[in-house]
Structure 1
Amino acid sequence: MLAFPSDHSTGDDRPSDFDDDWAEQYARRYADRDDLDEVVEFLLKRGGDEGTYLDLCSGVGRIAIPLASRAVHVTGVDNAPAMLRVMAERGQSLPVDTVLDDCAKIDIGRTFSLAYVTFNSLFQLDDNAAQESMLAGVARHLVPGGRFVVETFVPHPPASSALLGPEASHLSGDRLEFITRKWDVPEQVLWVQRMIVEAPGKVGLRSIRFQYLFPAQLDAMAEAAGLVRESEYADWAERPLCEDSDNRVVVYRLADGSPRR
């Protein structure tokens, strides 16, 4: 089953800024993802023990903090001040710095051995133009031969636009969650609405919009930015990708002679 993060709260189909309360909730909710050690090892294998790492849409540092604890320097970029404050607090004694910026328009003035964007964050950008802009920005910020790692879900949309759900996604003693999905197939947009019931009378709604790409489309977009696909997997454990895989982890390498646009 796909893991859909609820990173944007909307009341009228427009994302709002993350507040301090949601940043702390997010930090708690995803701190113990089962694959975190695998993510760190995967990235270190591509970026090196002495590399510099660029974490795009870094949020609260879910990956940056464990990476930095391995003595590599990580720069986290996000457009949500509340999320970056949590990341900075958690990384006070570690080689971590934060940059408040739009990841689709990054201009940090430094280069990195590895850049990465995880947890479907590339699909959360507004449109294909923003996605193309991010990929071009990544290429400008990589050293020659540097790598870019992208984690996304693999779209398996219905034959036509549809509203699906709700379905229960979490049940515990203190929280019940339901998810509803709305597929806009012609526009390649997926809306995910999550209803969170934490106590009697306390109901929260979190909505997120995905401008999804099929693997071949993402590869073509990356190639146009000067990034060549090096390898792809179904998960961080490097299991092979197959037709019915729900998730994809792909590694791109900056092509030799790529222009610094």
Structure 2
Amino acid sequence: MSVLDDPGLFGRQWAAHYDDPGNPDPAPAVAFLAGLAAGGPVLELAIGSGRVALPLAERGIPVEGVEASPEMVELLRAKPGGADLPVVIGDMADVPVEGRYPLVYLVFNTLFNLTVPGRQEECFRNVARVLAPGGAFVIEAFVPDPAQFDRDEQQVQVWSVTEEAVGVRLHKYDREAQTFLRQTLTFSNGGVKLEPFGMRYQWPEQIDAFAAAAGMRLDARYADWAGTPFGPDSRAHISVYRS
């Protein structure tokens, strides 16, 4: 078993810095999702530190979550309102909850964090199990760009430089398997620290096939949370699937 197959790896490695400046503004996503919530309750897979869930709940929409990382859940619980959100600690591919939700959502490319072959498909099947009739499953994901893969592999990215340490990042892509490995190395007086991260990326039409196999259909697709029409040059997509 690869270390990347551990669903709690990301949170365990990055929770301490996850809420540092640099994450996208959640407001556009919250506004978009609120329009599909139908009063709730809604379910966020990989709820993390509540970046999207908490402002959505502030609108009066009941939000529940699934999160593999106890460290991330600790961040969520420490925030105003975070202790009030029901969260199951578990693998998001299993969707380990019961009930019928008018909305399930998975943002910030996190579908691709499921690196074991077949687990993304299982995620869709399990979401279909808990969706209310006519309910929506919303995915936010990047559109793979092979030219960007080449650029990533040809450079070493300087991630951070301080008096105590230097961080760099390197990437390696497997085009046939549609996976990549990103390795972040931190060099300090204490030694070298490795923080691997991997994804199994998919093109939009492949994700559509997962949805169709699970009994869902593509209802709408946009280039961003503002509803910009999706086109051949779009580098990301917001896809809405219906049961």
Range into which the TM-score falls when normalised by the shorter chain: 0.7 to 0.9
Distance 1:179 1:200, change over 3 A: same
What corresponds to 2:54 in structure 1? 65
Out of 176-185 and 148-157, give the one that drifted further.
176-185
Cα separation, 2, equivalents of 1:222 and 1:104: 14
Q: Per-residue deviation at 1:90? A: 1.7
| Counterpart contact for 2:54–2:82, Cα < 8 Å | no
Structure 2 CA distance for aligned equivalents of residues 69 and 21 of structure 1: 29
Moved more, 94-103 or 212-221: 94-103
Q: SS of 1:75's equivalent? A: strand
Residue from 157, 171, 179 that aligns with 1:181: 171
Equivalent residue runs for 1:210-225 within 5 Å: 210-225=199-214
TM-score for both structures, normalised by structure 1: 0.79
Where does residue 114 of structure 2 map in the other structure? 125
1:46–1:182 CA distance, 2 compared to 1 (3 A): same
Matched, 1:23 2:15: yes
Post-superposition Cα deviations, 1:116-171, rounded to whole Å, max 9, x if no partner, equal 11111111102341111110111111111110100111112259999714344766
| Change over 3 Å in CA distance of 1:14–1:166 after alignment to 2 | farther
Q: 1:36-55 CA deviation, whole Å, 9 max, x = no partner?
A: 1101001011113x221100
Residues of 2 paired with 1:169 and 1:247: CA distance?
25
Report how many aligned residue pairs link the two structures. 240
TM-score of the two chains, using structure 2 as the length reference: 0.84
| Structure 1: tracts of 5 or more residues without a match | 1-10, 255-261
Q: 1:208 aligns with which of 193, 197, 205?
A: 197
Classify 1:94/1:81 alpha carbon distance in 2 versus 1 (closer, same or farther; 3 Å).
Answer: closer
Task: Output the amino acid matched with 1:186.
Answer: E
Contact 2:50-2:82 within 8 A present in 1 as well: no
Kindly provide the amino acid, as one letter, of the partner of residue 132 in structure 2: V
Instruction: Give the CA deviation at 1:205.
Output: 4.0
**Matching residue of 1:138:** 127
Partner in structure 1 of residue 42 of structure 2: 53
**8 Å CA contact retained: 1:53, 1:72:** yes
Deviation of the 1:194 alpha carbon:
3.2
Match of 1:97 in 2: 86
Identity of aligned residues (%): 32
Determine if contact 2:143/2:204 at 8 Å carries over to the other structure. Answer: yes
Deviation at 1:212?
Answer: 1.1
**Quick check: 2:160–2:167 contact (8 Å CA) kept in 1?**
yes
- How far the C-alpha of 1:185 sits from its partner, in A, is 0.7
Deviation at 1:244, TM superposition (A): 2.4
Higher relative helix content:
2
In structure 2, distance between residues paired with 1:13 and 1:95:
31
Residue 241 (structure 1) aligned with residue 233 (structure 2): no
How far did 1:201 drift? 6.8
Distance across 2 between alignment mates of 1:224 and 1:109: 21
Which residue of 2 is the match for residue 44 of structure 1? 34
Q: Distance in 2 between matches of 1:247 and 1:206?
A: 25
Q: What is residue 180 of structure 2 aligned with on the other side?
A: 190
Q: Which amino acid in the other structure matches residue 56 of structure 2?
A: L
Corresponding residue SS for 1:139: helix
Deviation at residue 56 of structure 1 after TM alignment: 0.3
CA distance in 1 between counterparts of 2:143 and 2:11 reads 29
Alignment partner of 2:180: what SS? strand
Contact 2:42 2:64 in 1 (8 A): yes
Residue of structure 1 in register with 2:146 after alignment = 157
